[in-house]
């Protein structure tokens, strides 16, 4: 048995032991026959993927993208770890991947800082690390191979520019506009980029007032909780900026619970990010004004990077996905027919 096969089998056995410790009855586990079911790992490109968690519809679509791309049929064996939104879990996963001598590590980092040591360990082990979705802040960018994802700051600017155009069409350009923001996980690349991008447009409009920023941690429950607090604290809220769709759904529930409405015909303008199918349906129902796309289907581009590395080809350090925005002026029914997430 070669070292790679031994390492992966160890990780699988560790995973099974962990599941048993979590309280799942041992008798419900199906025995794994490695020779018949898993084959010889030397025939595969073994990829370790540390995912943020499963906190949103966007995240689940992202996870499915990787699972559907890195399949045994295509010559890969994927080791997937859900970090449950805890950086310490990701650090542990990466170190396990290094011990198992995987061929590539894919990391969607929960926050941007605190990665130097573990990335250096991967570099010392000569394992390429590809960042997907979120990014990291390190002094030496050679610690990772490349990053694939969205231009979050551009998304934030796009939202601000859309709002300026919308208010002009509503003859409200000179009004005092009171805004609150439901931020994502503090320190995450999406939170930082969307906040800064929108703020750059905010500075151009002295009549716009940002009443408060609060983190809803990208979850619907926390988004509702924070929105309820906003509604209790401020008599006038004209615009809610929600840094992802799940928090926007929570905000909608809170707004309705307070006897108010949102959307094109509502009391409050609601802007969101991600543009999931559920959010576009909510827009179709008149609950959201505009949604700014964050494409979760990153795995095909990551696979393209891996294939180029396998062929010793040069790759670009930063690779952006194509994205757009949606609002209620568009033919949302037709757009929904084409959406895959």
How far, CA to CA in Å, does 11 sit from each of 58, 71, 233, 340?
28, 18, 50, 33
- Cross-strand pairs, 146: 130
Half-sphere exposure of 295 (CA within 13 A, CB side): 17
- 143-197: pLDDT as tens digits: 999 999 999 999 999 999 999 999 999 999 999 999 999 999 999 999 999 999 9
CB 34 within 8 A of CB 9: yes
Structural domains of the chain, ranges and CATH numbers in brackets: 3-25+34-150+296-310 (3.40.50.2300), 152-294+326-338 (3.40.50.2300)
pLDDT of residue 160: 98
pTM: 0.80
Residues 6+ apart with CB under 8 A from 208: 177, 179, 202
The three-state (H, E, C) secondary structure of 295-315, written as one string: CCCCHHHHHHHHHHHHCCCCC
pLDDT category of residue 57 using cuts at 50, 70 and 90: confident
234 closest CA partner among 209, 217, 257, 256: 209
Q: How many helices (H) and strands (E) in the chain?
A: 11, 12
- 207-249: pLDDT as tens digits: 999 999 999 999 999 999 999 999 999 999 999 999 999 999 9
pLDDT category of residue 31 using cuts at 50, 70 and 90: very low
Q: Which element (helix H / strand E) includes 134?
A: none
Q: What is the mean pLDDT of the chain?
A: 90
SS3 3: helix
């Amino acid at each position: 048995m070669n070292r790679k096969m031994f390492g992966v089998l160890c990780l699988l056995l560790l995973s099974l032991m962990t599941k048993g410790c979590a309280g799942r009855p041992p008798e419900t586990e199906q025995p794994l026959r490695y020779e018949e079911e898993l084959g010889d790992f030397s025939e595969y490109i073994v990829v370790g993927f540390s995912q943020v968690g499963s906190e949103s519809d966007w995240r689940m679509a992202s996870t499915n993208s990787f699972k559907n791309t890195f399949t045994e049929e295509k010559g890969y064996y994927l080791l997937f770890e859900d970090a449950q939104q805890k950086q310490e879990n990701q650090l542990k996963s990466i170190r396990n991947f290094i011990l198992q001598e995987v061929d590539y590590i894919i990391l969607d980092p929960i926050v941007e800082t605190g990665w130097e040591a573990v990335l250096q360990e991967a570099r010392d082990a000569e394992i390429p690390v590809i960042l997907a979705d979120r990014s990291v802040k390190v002094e030496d960018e050679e610690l990772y191979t490349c990053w694939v994802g969205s231009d979050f700051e551009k998304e934030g600017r796009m939202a601000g520019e859309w709002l300026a155009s919308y208010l002009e069409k509503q003859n409200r350009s000179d009004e005092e506009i009171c805004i609150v923001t439901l931020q994502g996980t503090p320190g995450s690349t999406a939170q930082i980029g969307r906040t800064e991008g929108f703020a750059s447009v905010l500075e151009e409009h002295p009549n716009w007032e940002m009443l408060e920023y609060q983190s809803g941690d990208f979850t619907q429950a926390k988004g509702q909780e924070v929105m309820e607090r906003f509604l209790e604290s401020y008599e006038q809220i004209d615009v809610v900026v929600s840094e992802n769709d799940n928090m926007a759904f929570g905000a909608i529930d809170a707004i309705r619970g307070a006897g108010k409405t949102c959307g094109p015909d509502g009391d409050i303008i609601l802007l969101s990010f991600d543009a999931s199918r559920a959010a576009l349906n909510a827009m179709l129902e008149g609950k959201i004004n505009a949604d700014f796309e964050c494409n979760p289907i990153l795995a095909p581009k990551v696979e393209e990077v891996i294939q180029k590395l396998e062929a010793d080809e040069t790759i670009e350090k930063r690779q952006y996905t194509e994205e757009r925005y949606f609002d209620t002026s568009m033919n949302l029914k037709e757009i929904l027919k084409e959406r895959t997430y």
